[in-house]
Structure 1
Amino acid sequence: MKVTVVGAGGNVGSTVSMAVAQRDFAKEVVMVDIVQERNGEKIYPSKGRALDQWESSPIHQFDTKLTGTVDYEDTANSDVCVITAGVPRRPGMSRDDLLETNANIVQGVVEKLVEKSPNTILIIVSNPLDVMAQVALETSGFDSKRVMGMAGILDTARYRSFLAEELNVSPKDIQALLLGGHGDTMVPLPRFTTIAGMPVTQFIDEDKLESIVERTKKGGGELVNLMGTSAWYAPGAAAAQMVEAIMLDQNRTFPCAAHLNGEYGQKDLFLGVPVKLGHGGIKEIIEVDLNDEEQQLLDTSAEHVHSVLKEFRKLMNK
């Protein structure tokens, strides 16, 4: 089993690589990034990070080999490829501000990956995620079940962690579901949120729950403001969980950015919805019954994704 992570010289990519290695199901994780220059000297972040992480293998007790490279030849015959390459957010930026730059990066990366691994599965982490997944789908020519975006697992994890902190319960016991685009228009669904099977509304008042929902929507921006750059630990862990579910054929149900073709009343766009992940990628898109308010919020989120996608096509045709 072989996993490639592109952008692995950066924080998110290197965290994905380490999280996959520590799970110890893959034979090799190939960490790809570009050659950089510092003070007139060439540096190789992906090679350095790979070596550093491999040196921790006796401590963490894993056998997965970590290989750092700048050559896509080393990615050949990868089972899953995770794309984290792109410019990270800075304070004051939205995910959408990254559109043109990251679209060009993702397009170039996908072309190189599919040439070497035509049967691979693509997991997109680069922002704006929903549109970058569309770029990957169109560039690769893959069946849509083999292209997906990492968003819902991360957003749901943030929501669950905030609830656990507020209610002083274990995050392990909180189950939740978020839909929609990866951004401020995401749609947390308190109606589907439980603590050990019990409705969360039995534990928290409506106003406090709503404040946690709003914090979740702006969770990425909160971290950008605190650190001056995008988060990496939780996004990396979320992507690694997707890789594991696919490669071990676990049939896990997660919210992910999937390409919709009529589901939830949406067509020809990526949107966060619950899916079943296993061998081959997305085995099933699961449709839950939404009430009128929830459907309206999801439609609004989809409209935003459509608007960013429209802007992307305008930029690419200028």
Structure 2
Amino acid sequence: MTEINSRKIAIIGCGFVGSACAFALMQSGLFSEMVLIDSNNQRAEGEALDISHGLPFSKPMQIYSGTYDDITDAGIIAITAGAGQKPGESRLELVHKNVEIFKSIIPEISKRNYKGILLIVSNPVDIMTYTALKLSGLPSNQVFGSGTVLDTARLKYLLGEHLGVDARSVHAFILGEHGDSEIAAFSSANVSGIELKKFCDFACKTDKHEEAMKEIAEDVKLSAYEIIKKKGATYYGIAMSVRRICEAIILDQKSILPISCLQSGKNGIENVVLSMPMIVGKHGAERSVEISLSEEERQAIKSSADMLKGIIKTLDLD
């Protein structure tokens, strides 16, 4: 069996998202080797060369374009390949196009008896993670998606702006689907241990807290559409999210992140992939974390799961 090199990452897909992830990971210093793979090998070669030229300003690293034969010893494979989301198109409208693309990618990985971690970034990430799980046969702790890590960062950023505090002091999650049915779990949100509403009463001096929170949650949900409308694609935010997830894995940080992973019965949800808080470390999605949710939030997450299950039923994954 090929020994896994935890300091090697493979990125499959060198479009806007894949190349931004490669750039962010080069700067991170987490890896000593990175292989870029794309159906357009010239594109992969160009990205590898361009990013490599910045290495004198970063840390020593081997960056090159390659083939599936180069993935066998990678600690992490990040899959960003797929059709991009067009203006006005929902993430779920990408489903069938990208499932077909995964049907050509995942078997190539399986053929090499890969034993590392598959980090799915392609949209719609929940469905694509489920697809990768079914096609790869790998354990669910080793196959998970970037989920709502970016949505959660957007929520923290907007709450920080609203409250006038450092976004890193805001603790809150977006849960469920990475998409239109996602849920802002405000019932457990806090600012350095202070309940969100109490902090807002002190900092904002407004009696319209509920309306402000609904507006912020809606802004988070619409963020990607707004960015796509203005510049055609989103890639910097997700690249930083991928870097954060990789950091938790490579440094075995046991970080609690809302990654997209297989649900196994908690909150009445199973056999579907969506985002809930998980401890992320060197073994991948190591275990789930129970957080306080209102009954309304629980029902909303269950509705999100039911919607995703309905999509899964339309896929031919057997």
Which residue is 2:309 aligned to? 306
Matched residue SS, 2:247: helix
> 2-side partners of 1:224 and 1:196: how far apart?
33
TM-score, normalising length from structure 2? 0.91
Match for 2:254 among 243, 251, 262? 251
Gaps of 5+ in 1: 36-42
- Distance, in Å, in 2 between the alignment partners of 1:169 and 1:96 is 34
Q: Distance in 2 between matches of 1:56 and 1:27?
A: 14
Return the match for 1:54 from 52, 57, 62.
52
Which structure 2 residues correspond to residues 3-152 of structure 1 after superposition, within 5 A?
3-7=9-13, 9-35=14-40, 44-59=42-57, 61-69=58-66, 71-116=67-112, 118-152=114-148
1:18 positional shift: 1.7
CA distance in 2, matches of 1:114, 1:130: 20
Measured in 2, the distance between the counterparts of 1:86 and 1:197 equals: 40
Alpha-carbon separation, structure 1, partners of 2:223 and 2:311 = 20
TM-score by length of 1: 0.91
Q: In the alignment, is residue 182 of structure 1 matched against residue 186 of structure 2?
A: no
Q: Is the 8 A contact 1:20 1:244 kept in 2?
A: no
Does the residue aligned with 2:314 lie in a helix, a strand or coil?
helix
Within the alignment, does 1:285 sit opposite 2:288 as a pair?
yes
| Sequence identity (%) | 29
Quick check: 1:2 aligned with 2:2?
no
Q: After TM superposition, what 4+ stretches of structure 1 lie above 4 angstroms from structure 2?
A: none
The CA deviation at 1:291 is 2.2
Q: Alpha-carbon deviation of 1:251?
A: 0.8
> Structure 1 stretch 76-85 or stretch 19-28: which is displaced more?
19-28
- Give the residue type in structure 1 aligned to 2:65: G
**Kept after mapping to 1: 8 A contact 2:279/2:288:** yes
What secondary structure, in the 3-state scheme, does the structure 2 residue paired with 1:312 have? coil
For this pair of structures, how many residues does the alignment match? Answer: 304
For residues 82 and 112 of structure 2, what CA distance do their matches in structure 1 show?
21
Name the CA distance, whole Å, in 1 between partners of 2:108 and 2:86.
28
Cα deviation, 1:184-213, whole Å, max 9, x if unaligned, reads 111111122222322222325221111001
Which residue of 2 is the match for residue 194 of structure 1? 190
Q: State the SS of the aligned residue for 1:79.
A: strand
Q: 2:113 & 2:80 partners in 1: Cα distance?
A: 17
Structural RMSD (CA): 1.6
- Name structure 2 gaps, 5 residues minimum: 1-6
Match of 1:40?
A: none
SS at match of 1:93: coil
Separation in structure 1 between the aligned mates of residue 169 and residue 49 of structure 2, nearest angstrom: 36
Confirm or deny: 8 A CA contact 1:258 1:270 kept in the other structure.
yes
Residues 77, 116 of structure 1: 8 Å contact kept: no
Moved more, 94-103 or 303-312: 303-312
CA separation in 1, counterparts of 2:103 and 2:266? 26
Q: CA deviation at 1:117?
A: 5.3
| Structure-1 separation of matches of 2:292 and 2:113 | 38
Using a 3 Å threshold, how does the CA distance of structure 1 residues 62 and 101 change in structure 2: closer, same or farther? same
